[in-house]
């Protein structure tokens, strides 16, 4: 047997586990590269010219979606991608099932570095409980035993299979990239308190503690199983972080408590009314001189039509129903509505720090933003993350 | 070791991409079967290499081997697991989804 990760919450993998995981990763990679390439080629060479000839050009993502729905390449891509997504959770659940007691016992060990504060009376939003987000059975909140960490373990292991290595070894590239962007772009900024909202297992929280070792790092989520797991995972890595069960749209923190409010891949999972509440809360808990800084899917108004159609597949078919509405928003306006000033808005596209290294990263973030087929999408050829936020005066 | 089995099937209806009923599910079954076949092939490959290193002619030994009751039970268990995995999407759905309709507006 071998371990799935380099921390104590790692599950032991049999050779069968490893083979099944490798197969699903390979299948996903095949769908996202080969089959998605076939789909694009069919669109560009057959579907688009046909519509152009008939005088009804496909000039919106919705029109492209409608035009492709009946095409075999779309059906095959979508059907195989759905099956592969379901298999991700299936193949990682065997090892998590086997080690249920071991994982829950490890998570119950006394903490040495950070803290875990749960709130069993916190109402969970329907956006979490009402659907199995990402087609993950039980979503991120379901508990299968007392003080259960299962959902966290399934999530951590599923990223291995899902992302085929594209998030870095500890799945922390997004947090690493966004925190190093601030460090390199604003060298005089020295935050002492950092908050990660919608942190799940804290994989993108912990790099903030590494980038800014003097800062106190806090992470919140509504789901207890992922927080228990994330806390235990951080403890075993010897990284201090404070995990709290709290709703980012109604935080318990005092006003002006944090220098940085961060989130990654969080807002697109929220209903629009909750996005507004979250941003107002973020503005409230930020200190003057602090920054809201978030990794997100790029806005539709910055991306080409086909990219928008392709990216929005998930909102139609991957149980992420709020994602399309979010991407249609003017992100700057969202922040203005929450109290930030237009002049303080920032946005950036950036290469993955973990993969390109500091020198190339430093050079890239001096340039202009690029919105293309690599922006916001996992691609071994070179993913480019999108970040946006604002300073609070 | 835990014998628990957390849910493998998500709540709600699967999307139907192909018009004909069952095509999407059949494709899912085929992919799952292929995954199992891949894992098995890899295991067999490893077994051959391990035994080769010890000077054992595996093919000949397999033909001469007689299954015990314990072997039969283990293989039967594995066969059932394989069928459950391959046919996972043909089973009953999980419990119904909660309505999120009022969250979808502005």
Q: Do A211 and A144 sit in the same domain of this protein?
A: no
- Residue A302 φ/ψ, nearest 5 degrees: -100, -10
Which pLDDT score is estimated for A34? 86
Q: Do A136 and A195 sit in the same domain of this protein?
A: no
Q: By the 8 A CB rule, do A88 and A28 touch? A: yes
Which pLDDT score is estimated for B31? 94
Name the domain count of chain B: 1
Residue B79 within a domain: yes
- Chain A 108-167, CB below 8 Å of chain B: which residues? 126-127, 129-132, 135-138, 142, 144-145, 150, 154
Q: How far is B53 from chain A, CA to nearest CA, in Å?
A: 19
Residue A77 within a domain: yes
Suggest the residue from A30, A86, A98, A153 to mutate for an interface test with chain B (most B CBs closer than 10 A): A86
| Pick from B10, B31, B39: CB nearest A16 | B39
- Chain A 186-245, CB below 8 Å of chain B: which residues? none
Number of A/B CB contacts below 8 angstroms equals 134
CA proximity to A268, closest of A227, A320, A204, A304:
A320
Distances (CA, A) of A391 to A236, A339, A341, A347: 34, 11, 8, 11
Structure tokens at A352: 């993955």
Which pLDDT score is estimated for A213? 97
Which pLDDT score is estimated for B1? 62
Residue B60 within a domain: yes
Contacts of A96 in chain B (CB under 8 A): 6
Long-range contacts of A35-39 (CB under 8 A, 24+ apart): A35/A73, A35/A76, A35/A77, A35/A80, A35/A81, A36/A77, A36/A310, A38/A73, A38/A77, A39/A68, A39/A73, A39/A74, A39/A77
Q: How far is B106 from chain A, CA to nearest CA, in Å?
A: 6
Whether chain B has a CB inside 8 Å of the CB on A15: the answer is: yes
Neighbours of A116 (CB within 10 A): 19
User: What b/e readout covers B31-66, taking b as 16+ CB neighbours within 10 angstroms?
Assistant: bbeebbebbeebeeeeeeeeeeeeeeeeeeeeeeee
Name the domain count of chain A: 2
pLDDT at B92 over 70: no
- Residue A131 φ/ψ, nearest 5 degrees: -140, 160
Which is it for strands A115-117 and A242-245: parallel, antiparallel or unpaired? Answer: parallel
Which pLDDT score is estimated for B90? 59
Q: How far is B4 from chain A, CA to nearest CA, in Å?
A: 6
Which pLDDT score is estimated for B95? 52
Q: Do A169 and A222 sit in the same domain of this protein?
A: yes
> Which DSSP state fits A34?
I
Which pLDDT score is estimated for A30? 86
Distances (CA, A) of A37 to A32, A74, A299, A304: 8, 11, 22, 16
| Pick from B6, B15, B36: CB nearest A93 | B6
What confidence tier does B62 reach under pLDDT thresholds 50, 70, 90?
confident
Q: By the 8 A CB rule, do A170 and A222 touch? A: no
Record: contact B39-A20, CB cut-off 8 A: yes
Q: Do A223 and A84 sit in the same domain of this protein?
A: no
| Pick from B5, B98, B104: CB nearest A129 | B98
User: In chain A, which stretches have pLDDT less than 50?
Assistant: none
| Pick from A20, A87, A126: CB nearest B100 | A126
Q: How far is B48 from chain A, CA to nearest CA, in Å?
A: 14
pTM: 0.89
CA distance A192 to A391: 16
Which pLDDT score is estimated for A164? 80
What confidence tier does B89 reach under pLDDT thresholds 50, 70, 90?
low
- Residue A245 φ/ψ, nearest 5 degrees: -85, 110
Q: Do A143 and A197 sit in the same domain of this protein?
A: no
CA distance A109 to B36: 37
Rg (CA), chain B: 21
Whether chain A has a CB inside 8 Å of the CB on B42: the answer is: yes
Residue B33 within a domain: yes
Query: What domain range includes position B44?
Result: 23-91
Query: What domain range includes position A143?
Result: 15-112+126-160
Which pLDDT score is estimated for B64? 86
Q: Do A131 and A262 sit in the same domain of this protein?
A: no
* HEC assignment per residue over A331-358: HHHHHHHCCCCHHHEEEEEEECHHHHCH
Which pLDDT score is estimated for B91? 53
| Pick from A22, A129, A137: CB nearest B9 | A137
Which pLDDT score is estimated for A193? 98
What confidence tier does B2 reach under pLDDT thresholds 50, 70, 90?
low
- Chain A 325-354, CB below 8 Å of chain B: which residues? 325
Which pLDDT score is estimated for B98? 63
The residue ranking higher by pLDDT, B94 or A162, is A162
pLDDT one-digit tens code per residue, B17-38: 999 999 999 999 999 999 999 9
Q: Do A281 and A146 sit in the same domain of this protein?
A: no
Q: Do A262 and A329 sit in the same domain of this protein?
A: yes
User: What b/e readout covers A127-147, taking b as 16+ CB neighbours within 10 angstroms?
Assistant: bbbbbbbbbbbbbbbbebeee
Q: Do A146 and A169 sit in the same domain of this protein?
A: no
Record: contact A137-B8, CB cut-off 8 A: yes
What confidence tier does B102 reach under pLDDT thresholds 50, 70, 90?
confident
| Pick from B2, B35, B103: CB nearest A87 | B35
The sign of the CA dihedral A275, A281, A285, A291 is: positive
Q: Do A100 and A173 sit in the same domain of this protein?
A: no
Record: contact A83-B94, CB cut-off 8 A: no
CA A361 to chain centre: 21
| Pick from A78, A83, A99: CB nearest B2 | A99
Neighbours of A152 (CB within 10 A): 29
- Chain B 50-89, CB below 8 Å of chain A: which residues? 85, 88-89
CA distance A361 to A363: 5
CATH no. for residue A222?
3.40.50.150
Which pLDDT score is estimated for B97? 57
Burial (Cβ within 10 Å: 0-12, 13-18, ≥19) of residue A355: middle
Structure tokens at B42: 């890899």
What confidence tier does B82 reach under pLDDT thresholds 50, 70, 90?
confident
Residue A43 within a domain: yes
């Amino acid at each position: 047997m071998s371990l799935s990760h380099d921390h104590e919450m790692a599950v032991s993998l049999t050779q069968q586990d490893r083979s099944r995981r490798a197969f699903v990763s390979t299948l996903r990679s095949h769908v996202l590269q080969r089959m998605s390439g076939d789909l694009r080629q069919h669109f560009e060479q057959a579907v688009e010219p046909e519509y152009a000839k008939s005088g009804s050009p496909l000039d919106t993502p919705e029109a492209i979606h409608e035009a492709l729905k009946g095409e075999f390449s779309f059906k095959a891509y979508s059907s195989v991608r759905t099956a592969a997504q379901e298999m991700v959770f299936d193949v990682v659940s065997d090892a998590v099932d086997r080690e249920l007691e071991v994982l829950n016992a490890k998570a119950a060990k006394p903490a040495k570095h950070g803290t875990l504060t749960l709130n069993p009376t916190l109402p969970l939003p329907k956006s979490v409980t009402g659907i199995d987000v990402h087609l993950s059975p039980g979503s991120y909140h379901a508990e299968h035993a007392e003080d259960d960490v299962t959902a966290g373990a399934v999530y951590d292991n599923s990223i291995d299979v899902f992302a085929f290595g594209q998030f870095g070894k500890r799945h922390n590239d997004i947090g690493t990239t966004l925190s190093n962007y601030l460090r390199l772009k604003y060298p005089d900024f020295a935050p002492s308190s950092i908050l990660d909202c919608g942190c799940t297992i804290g994989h993108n929280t912990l790099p903030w503690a590494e980038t800014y070792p003097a800062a106190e790092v806090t992470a919140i989520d509504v789901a207890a199983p992922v927080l228990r797991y994330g806390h235990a995972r951080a403890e075993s890595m010897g990284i201090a972080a404070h995990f709290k069960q709290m709703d980012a749209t109604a935080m318990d923190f005092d006003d002006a408590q944090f220098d940085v409010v961060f989130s990654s891949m969080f807002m697109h999972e929220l209903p629009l009314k909750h996005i507004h509440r979250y941003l107002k809360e973020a503005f409230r808990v930020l200190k003057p001189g602090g920054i809201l800084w978030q990794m997100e899917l790029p806005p539709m108004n910055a991306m080409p039509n086909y990219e928008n159609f392709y990216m929005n597949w998930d909102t139609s078919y991957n149980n992420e129903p709020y994602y399309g509405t979010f991407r249609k928003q003017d992100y700057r306006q969202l922040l203005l509505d929450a109290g930030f000033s237009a002049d303080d808005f920032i946005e950036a596209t950036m290469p993955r720090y973990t993969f390109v290294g500091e020198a190339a990263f430093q050079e890239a973030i001096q340039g202009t933003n690029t919105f293309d087929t690599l922006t916001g999408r996992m691609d071994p050829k070179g993913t480019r993350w999108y970040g946006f936020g604002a300073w609070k005066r | 070791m835990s014998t628990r089995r957390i849910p493998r099937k998500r709540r709600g209806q699967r999307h139907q991409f192909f018009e004909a009923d069952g095509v999407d599910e059949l494709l899912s079954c085929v992919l799952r079967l292929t995954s199992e076949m891949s894992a098995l092939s890899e295991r067999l490959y490893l077994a051959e290499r391990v035994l080769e290193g010890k000077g054992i002619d595996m093919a000949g030994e397999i033909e001469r081997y007689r299954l015990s009751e314990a072997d039969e039970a283990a293989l039967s268990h594995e066969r059932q697991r394989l069928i459950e995995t391959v046919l996972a999407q043909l089973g009953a759905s999980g419990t119904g989804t909660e309505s999120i309709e009022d969250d979808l507006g502005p």
